[in-house]
Amino acid sequence: MSKTKSEIKLFNTYPFTDVKINDFTLENYINLKPIIVPHSCGRHEHRRFWKSNISVIEKLINRMLAPGFIGSKIKGRKSSYQTGKKSKLIKTLKDAFTLMHLNTGENPIQILVDAILNCAPREETTKIAMGGISYASAVDIAPQRRVDLAIKFLVQAIAARSHGNVRLFAENIAQELMLAAKNSQESRAVKRKDEIERIAVSAR
C-alpha cells in the first residue's frame, strides 16, 4: 500500500509538511518533495536544470561528495575523505539530524532550510573588461545560484570546522547548520556570505 505525501517522512522520522521557506524568491529552487532516503541515483545527471528537481538534502550530500572539493579548501588535504561513500554520508547526516532535533526540539529539515536561506548571498561581484581596463562590478545573483552558493558555503564551513577537530563529523555538521539557521556570526558560512555582500556593496 503506497503512502500519501503527508505520511512520507525523511528517515521515517522527520515530516516535510510543516517545513516553511521564508523567502518566496527561493521557493521554486529549494526542493522539499517528501522522500525517505535522499538518494535519487543520479537521475538529474546531464539534464539541464534538473538539479532543481533534486531534494535539497541530497544536494547537500552530493556537494560533500565532490572529489577534492572539501580537500582543496583545507591545507594539507588533497581529496575529500567522503568521496564515493554516499551511503556512509547519508548515515552521518541522519546522526546529525538526530543531534539537531535533540538539541533544539525543532524539525532538522526546517533548520537546514533556514541555514540555506541565511547563507544565500543576494549580490556578488563580476569582472568587466572594457578598453583594456578591467574592474569589478556588483551584480544580482540568480535564485538557483543563490541556493548553490549557500550549500557550497555550508559544506566548506563544515569541512573547516571538522579539520583537526576531535568531535564526530555528525556533530560538526549539526553545529554549523544550527549556527547558520540562527544567522549567528559564529557560523563560517554566514561570515562568508556577509563578506561577499560587503565586497559587492563597495563595488557598486
Average pLDDT rounded to a whole number, residues 103-130: 91
> In whole angstroms, what is the distance from residue 179 CA to residue 31 CA?
22
Instruction: Specify burial of residue 2 (Cβ count, 10 A radius: 0-12, 13-18, 19+).
Output: exposed
Write the CB contacts of 71 (distance below 8 Å, at least 6 apart in sequence). 77, 78, 79, 80, 81
- Give residue limits of the domains in the chain: 9-120+142-198
Q: What's residue 117's pLDDT?
A: 95
pLDDT digits (tens, 9 = 90+) for 141-151: 999 999 999 99
pLDDT digits (tens, 9 = 90+) for 76-95: 444 444 555 888 888 999 99
pLDDT digits (tens, 9 = 90+) for 21-79: 998 999 888 988 888 888 877 766 777 766 778 889 988 988 888 765 554 444 444 44
Res. 186: pLDDT tops 60: yes
Res. 168: pLDDT tops 80: yes
pTM: 0.84
Q: What's residue 72's pLDDT?
A: 47
Q: What's residue 77's pLDDT?
A: 46
| φ and ψ of 130, to 5 deg | -150, 120
> In whole angstroms, what is the distance from residue 75 CA to residue 160 CA?
10
Res. 171: pLDDT tops 80: yes
The CATH superfamily holding the domain 9-120+142-198 is Ribosomal protein S7/S5 (1.10.455.10)
| φ and ψ of 107, to 5 deg | -70, 120
Per-position DSSP letters for 38-77, written without gaps between them: ---TTTTTTSTTGGGGS-HHHHHHHHHHSTTTTGGGSTT-
Cβ atoms < 10 Å from Cβ of 54: 18
